[in-house]
A and B are shown apart, each in its own frame.
Chain A
Amino acid sequence: MSLIDIFQHLLPGIGKTIGIFVCTLVFSMPLGMIIAFGRMSKCFILRNVVKLYISVMRGTPLMLQLMVVYFGPYFIFRIQISSSYRLYAVLIAFALNYAAYFAEIYRGGIESMPQGQYEAAQLLGYGKGQTFFKIILPQVMKRILPAVTNEVITLVKDTSLAFSIAYTEMFTMAKALASSQTSVLPFVAAGIFYYVFNLLVAVVMEKLEKKLSYYR
C-alpha cells in the first residue's frame, strides 16, 4: 500500500478527526467563558465548585475522562449504551476538558486588564455588558491569542485519544491498518496528517495575530 492509498483508506477517519476538532472548539470556547465567569464569581460556593471542576479537569488524564463519560452511564446507572453514544461521549469529554483550559486562559486575560479601562468605560456611561463586549473582550482576545493557539495545537493531537473508547477517528483507523498490514506506513501517514493540520492551525492563528497587531 502506498501512502496515497493509505490516506484514501483513512479518509473517513480524517473527517471524524476534523469533526471532533471543530465541535470541541465550537462547544468548549463559549463554555469556557461561562466557566471563567463562574471561577471569578463573587459567590463563594460557585467560585469554589468551579475551581474544583477546573482542577479535576486539568489534573486527570483526558483519556480517563473519556472512559468515565463513555462507560460511566452503564457502570453507575446501568444504562445500556448505544454505539452512537460513542461520538457523544467523545464530544462531551473533549468539550468539558477543553472548556476548563480555556476558562483559565480567559480568566488570566480578563484579570490582566488594567482597572483603568473599566473605570474609563464607567465614566463614559457604558453599561456592564457594553463594557465587557466592546472594551474588555476585544483586548482580552488579543492578549490570550498565543495561549489559545497552544491549546488548539494540543487539541489537534489530543483527538487521537478518542481511540481509547474505540471511536474510529483517523488515528484509530491508522492503528488498525498498521496491524493488519504489518506496516509502519499508516503511522507515518498519521504523523504527516497531524503535522500538516497543525501547520495550518499555526498559519491561521498567525494571520489572526497579525490582524490584531494594529494596536498595542
Chain B
Amino acid sequence: MLLEMNHIRKNFDGVDVLRDISLSVKQGEIVSIIGPSGSGKSTLLRCATMLETIDGGEITYMGEKAVWVENKKPVFAKKDKMKAIRSCYGLVFQNFNLFPHYSVIQNITDAPIHVQKRKKDEVFAEARELLKKMGLSDKENAYPCQLSGGQCQRVAIARALALNPKILFFDEPTSALDPELTGEVLKVIRSLADLDITMVIVTHEMSFARDISDRIIFMDGGVIALEGSPEEVFGAEHTRMKEFLGRFREK
C-alpha cells in the first residue's frame, strides 16, 4: 500500500469532523472522494498531507509510519524520515496557491532546485516537458496574474508533478474555475491517469469521477458512507447517496 490511513479522527472546536476514517490507496490507483459540502473531504486530504494534525489514528506512507497519536497528541516520524515521506506526496489546491512573485517556470523549478537540490538544467528541461504536456509552453515566463484560472491550475499541477511525487492529491481542482475552463484542467488530470500516477481526487464533477476512478468514496458526516467501484457507488441503493446525486442532477 502506498498510503494507509487507519481510524483517523479529527476534531475542530469540539466537533468531530472526521470520525474513524480508514482508507488505503494502492500504487497506480485513482480514488475519487465525493460527498456533500462539510462532510470532511478537504479535512481528510489536509490530514493526509499533514496540513492538519490528527486527533486519532495513524497515517502510513509506503509502510513508513508518518504520524500517529499517543496520549491524545499527534506524534510525527523523525525529521529525516519525515522529509522522505513529505517528498512522496503532492497536493493541488482549489485556489492554486501559486507564488505570485515567481514566473511560471520559477514556480515549477524553484522547489526541485532549492529543496530537492537537483541539477538546474535537468530540472528546467523536465519543467519545460511538463509545461508542454500542460499545453503551456508559451507561458513559461508569464506571471500567475497574467494567466486564466484554468492555466493557473495547470501550472499548479505541473509544480506538484515537478517534485516527482508518488501520490498526488487534488482538492476540488476545478471548483474555482469558470465552467468553460474546467474542461482543460480535467483533460490534464485524465492525461496523468494514463501515466499511471496515483491520485486521490476530491471533486464535484460526477461524470469525471465516474470515468477516471478505480474507486469512489462517498463521504457523509465525517465517515465513509459508501465505497466501491464507480458502478457500485453510483448504482447503490443508498438514501444519502441518492439524495446527493439528485441534488447534482438538479443543478
| A residues neighboring B (CB under 8 Å) | 114, 116-117, 119-120, 122-126, 130, 134-135, 138-139, 142, 214-216
4 interchain residue pairs of minimum CB distance: A120-B97, A116-B97, A124-B111, A125-B115
In the complex, which residue of chain A has the Cβ closest to the Cβ of B50?
Answer: A122
Contact among B95, B101, B163 for A142, CB-based, below 8 A: B101
Please name all residues of chain B whose beta carbon is closer than 8 Å to the beta carbon of A123 when the two chains form the complex: 49, 51, 90-91, 160
Contact among B98, B101, B115, B159 for A126, CB-based, below 8 A: B115
Contacts known (A215-B143, A215-B145); A120 close to B99, Cβ less than 8 A: yes
Task: Point out which of B90, B99, B114, B143 has the most chain A C-beta atoms below 10 A from its C-beta.
Answer: B99
A117 to B95: give the CA distance in the assembly, Å. Answer: 11
B56 at the A/B interface (Cβ < 8 Å)? no
Please name all residues of chain B whose beta carbon is closer than 8 Å to the beta carbon of A116 when the two chains form the complex: 93, 95, 97
Known: A124-B111, A134-B110. 11 other contacts (CB 8 A): A117-B99, A120-B97, A124-B115, A124-B163, A125-B87, A125-B116, A134-B114, A135-B99, A142-B101, A214-B143, A215-B145
Contacts known (A123-B90, A124-B159, A216-B145); A117 close to B97, Cβ less than 8 A: yes
In the complex, which residue of chain A has the Cβ closest to the Cβ of B115?
Answer: A125
Distance between B15 CB and nearest chain A CB, rounded to angstroms? 20
Q: Is the CB of A125 within 8 A of B97?
A: no
B222 at the A/B interface (Cβ < 8 Å)? no
Distance between B151 CB and nearest chain A CB, rounded to angstroms? 15
Q: Is the CB of B51 within 8 A of A119?
A: yes
Please name all residues of chain B whose beta carbon is closer than 8 Å to the beta carbon of A135 when the two chains form the complex: 99
147-165 of chain B: CB within 8 A of chain A:
159-160, 163
Please name all residues of chain A whose beta carbon is closer than 8 Å to the beta carbon of B50 when the two chains form the complex: 122
Please name all residues of chain B whose beta carbon is closer than 8 Å to the beta carbon of A215 when the two chains form the complex: 100-101, 143-145
17 contacts across the A-B interface (CB closer than 8 A): A117-B99, A119-B51, A119-B93, A120-B97, A120-B98, A120-B99, A122-B50, A123-B90, A123-B160, A125-B87, A125-B111, A125-B116, A125-B163, A126-B111, A130-B114, A215-B100, A215-B144
B81 at the A/B interface (Cβ < 8 Å)? no
Distance between A143 CB and nearest chain B CB, rounded to angstroms? 11
B83 at the A/B interface (Cβ < 8 Å)? yes
Count of chain A to chain B residue pairs whose CB atoms are closer than 8 Å in the complex? 52
A116 to B51: give the CA distance in the assembly, Å. Answer: 10
B86 at the A/B interface (Cβ < 8 Å)? yes
Interface of B is mostly: loop
In the complex, which residue of chain B has the Cβ closest to the Cβ of A139?
Answer: B101
Please name all residues of chain B whose beta carbon is closer than 8 Å to the beta carbon of A124 when the two chains form the complex: 110-111, 115, 159, 163
A124 to B51: give the CA distance in the assembly, Å. Answer: 12
A125 to B160: give the CA distance in the assembly, Å. Answer: 11
Contacts known (A120-B93, A125-B116, A214-B143); A139 close to B100, Cβ less than 8 A: yes
A119 to B159: give the CA distance in the assembly, Å. Answer: 14
In the complex, which residue of chain A has the Cβ closest to the Cβ of B111?
Answer: A124
Q: Is the CB of A138 within 8 A of B97?
A: no
Please name all residues of chain B whose beta carbon is closer than 8 Å to the beta carbon of A114 when the two chains form the complex: 97
Q: Is the CB of B111 within 8 A of A119?
A: no
A119 to B98: give the CA distance in the assembly, Å. Answer: 11
A117 to B93: give the CA distance in the assembly, Å. Answer: 11
Please name all residues of chain A whose beta carbon is closer than 8 Å to the beta carbon of B101 when the two chains form the complex: 138-139, 142, 215
In the complex, which residue of chain A has the Cβ closest to the Cβ of B110?
Answer: A134
Please name all residues of chain B whose beta carbon is closer than 8 Å to the beta carbon of A214 when the two chains form the complex: 143
Distance between A110 CB and nearest chain B CB, rounded to angstroms? 15
A215 to B145: give the CA distance in the assembly, Å. Answer: 6
Please name all residues of chain A whose beta carbon is closer than 8 Å to the beta carbon of B95 when the two chains form the complex: 116
Please name all residues of chain A whose beta carbon is closer than 8 Å to the beta carbon of B160 when the two chains form the complex: 123
Please name all residues of chain A whose beta carbon is closer than 8 Å to the beta carbon of B51 when the two chains form the complex: 119, 122-123
Please name all residues of chain A whose beta carbon is closer than 8 Å to the beta carbon of B110 when the two chains form the complex: 124, 134
Distance between B109 CB and nearest chain A CB, rounded to angstroms? 11
Please name all residues of chain A whose beta carbon is closer than 8 Å to the beta carbon of B91 when the two chains form the complex: 123
- Binary flags per residue of B99-117, CB closer than 8 Å to A gives 1, else 0: 1110000000011001110
Please name all residues of chain A whose beta carbon is closer than 8 Å to the beta carbon of B93 when the two chains form the complex: 116, 119-120
Please name all residues of chain B whose beta carbon is closer than 8 Å to the beta carbon of A117 when the two chains form the complex: 97, 99
A142 to B143: give the CA distance in the assembly, Å. Answer: 15
In the complex, which residue of chain B has the Cβ closest to the Cβ of A125?
Answer: B115
